[in-house]
Amino acid sequence: MSWPSAMPAIYSAAAPALATLAAPPVSGLRWIAVKQRFEQFHGNLRLTKAQFLDGLTKRKGVAGCLNRHYFDSASETDNSFFVGSWGKDTATRPPRDVDLYFVLPDAVYHRFQNHVWNRQSALLQEVKGVLTKSYPNTTMRGDGQVVLVGFGTYSVEVVPAFKLTNGNYWICDTNNGGRYKETNPWAEAAYIDDSDKASNTNLRPLIRMLKAWQAECSVPIKSFQLELMAADFLSQSPWRLKDFFWFDWITRDLFAYLYHRANTFVTVPGVNESIFLGNDWQSRCASAYSRAVKACKFEYDNKVEQAGEEWQKIFGSQIPRTV
C-alpha cells in the first residue's frame, strides 16, 4: 500500500509543528457524532465489574496456592501484584489474560544457584509443578518467562520474581542457557499514570483503542510497546488536553506517528532497556491511517454511518457504526 499523500510529514520527526495544524471549531453543524461515538467506544472497551472481580478471584487462587507452598501462609494476596495491563489499568474487554508477579523467598534463589544448567528453566518447572496440583491446565509460555495457568475464560500469566535491594525485580528468561532479567513494573506503571494525568486522562482510553486495533487487525507488536509509543505521541499532540470530541483527529494522527516509529527503539521505564520495534506491523499503520482519514472526512460531513463503517475496519465492532 502506498502511503497517503495527505500524511502529515511532521510525524517523521515527532514534532513541534503539530501545533500548526488547524483546530476543528466546536460546532453544532459539524462532527456531530464524534464525541458520542468515541465515548461509547471507550465504554465498550473497559472491563465490566464482573470481569474485574473475576480477575481478582483468579489472582487470589493462584497467589494462595503459591503462598501455601513457599511461605506456609494462607494469604491469597501477599507476595503478589498485578503487572501488565491489569497493573497499569489499561486492560480491555474481553480480557486477554491476567499478568501477575509472585515474589519468591530469597532462599529459593540460593537453592537454584546449585543448578549447573539453566536454573531459570528449573525454577519455572518447579513453580509449574506447584500450580499443577491445583490447576491441571498449567503450561509454560513459549518465551520462557511465564507460567500460564489456564482457566475456562482466560489465563493467569504468573511471573516468578525475586526482589532486589534496589527495588527492582529479577524474572526468569530461559533462552540461550538461561539468565535473570531485571525489571521495574512499578516504574512502568508510574510512567503510564503520570503520562495519563499530563494528558487530561486521555492516554488510557487511547491505549485501549490501540489494543482494539491490535486485536482486530492482528497487528504483530506487543501491547506494552504500543503503550510506550502512545504515551510519547500524546505528550506531543496539541489535542492532548481535549476531550473525546477530538479523538477522530487524535487516533488518525497516532497512526501516522506509529508508521514513522518502525525500525526505531522504545526504552523501558525503570531499567532503561532499549527494545527494537522492527517493521512487521508498519503496513497495518498505513492501512489504519488511510481509513482514519476517510472516517475523519465523513465525520466532518456528518455522514455518521459511513464514518462508523471506516472506524470499524480499524477497531472492530466495539466502536459503534452509528450513534
Cell numbers placing 30 = 459539524
Residues 193 and 263 in one domain: yes
Residues 160 and 209 in one domain: no
User: Of the residues 132, 167, 183, which one is the last residue of a structural domain?
Assistant: 183
Cell numbers placing 168 = 527492582
Residues 214 and 270 in one domain: yes
pLDDT tens digits along 168-210:
999 999 988 899 999 999 999 999 999 999 999 999 999 999 9
Q: What pLDDT does 126 receive?
A: 94
In a domain, 41, yes or no: no
At 12, the pLDDT band (50, 70, 90 cuts) reads: very low
User: Of the residues 183, 208, 238, which one is the last residue of a structural domain?
Assistant: 183
Give the count of domains, the chain. Answer: 2
pLDDT tens digits along 121-149:
999 999 999 999 999 888 866 567 899 99
In a domain, 323, yes or no: no
Residues 112 and 22 in one domain: no
Q: What pLDDT does 28 receive?
A: 55
Residues 62 and 179 in one domain: yes
- pLDDT exceeds 50 at position 14: no
Q: Hunting for cell 495544524 — which residue is that?
A: 21
Residues 199 and 290 in one domain: yes
pLDDT tens digits along 242-292:
999 999 999 999 999 999 999 999 999 999 899 999 999 999 999 999 999
Q: What pLDDT does 153 receive?
A: 84
Q: What pLDDT does 25 receive?
A: 52
User: Residue 259 sits in which domain range?
Assistant: 9-30+188-315
Q: What pLDDT does 4 receive?
A: 41
Residues 193 and 307 in one domain: yes
Which DSSP state fits 9?
G
Cα–Cα dist 55/11, whole Å? 38
At 24, the pLDDT band (50, 70, 90 cuts) reads: low
CA distances (Å), 167 to each of 119, 160, 171, 182, in order?
A: 22, 16, 13, 10
In a domain, 152, yes or no: yes
Quick one: average pLDDT of 233-249?
A: 97
**C-alpha of 311 from chain center:** 20
Cα–Cα dist 221/266, whole Å? 12
pLDDT tens digits along 80-119:
999 999 999 999 999 989 999 999 999 999 999 988 788 9
User: Of the residues 183, 214, 229, which one is the last residue of a structural domain?
Assistant: 183
In a domain, 218, yes or no: yes
The domain that holds 170 is classified in CATH as 3.30.460.90
What percent of the chain is helix, strand and coil (3-state, nearest 5)?
50, 15, 35
Cα–Cα dist 155/84, whole Å? 13
The pTM of this model reads 0.89
Residues 64 and 163 in one domain: yes
Residues 176 and 194 in one domain: no
Residue 157, strand partner residues: 99, 148
In a domain, 258, yes or no: yes
Residues 57 and 179 in one domain: yes
- Range of weakest confidence among 28-37, 159-168, 269-278, 298-307: 28-37
Which DSSP state fits 172?
E
In a domain, 56, yes or no: yes
HSE-CB at 82 with a 13 A cutoff on CA atoms is 18
Residues 269 and 227 in one domain: yes
**C-alpha of 156 from chain center:** 16
Q: Return the sign of the alpha-carbon dihedral for residues 66, 71, 75, 80.
A: negative
Residues 79 and 178 in one domain: yes
Nearest partner of 254 among 298, 215, 217, 284, judged by Cα: 284
* 192 close to 225: Cβ distance less than 8 angstroms: no
In a domain, 306, yes or no: yes
In a domain, 209, yes or no: yes
pLDDT tens digits along 30-72:
999 999 999 999 999 999 999 999 999 999 999 999 999 999 9
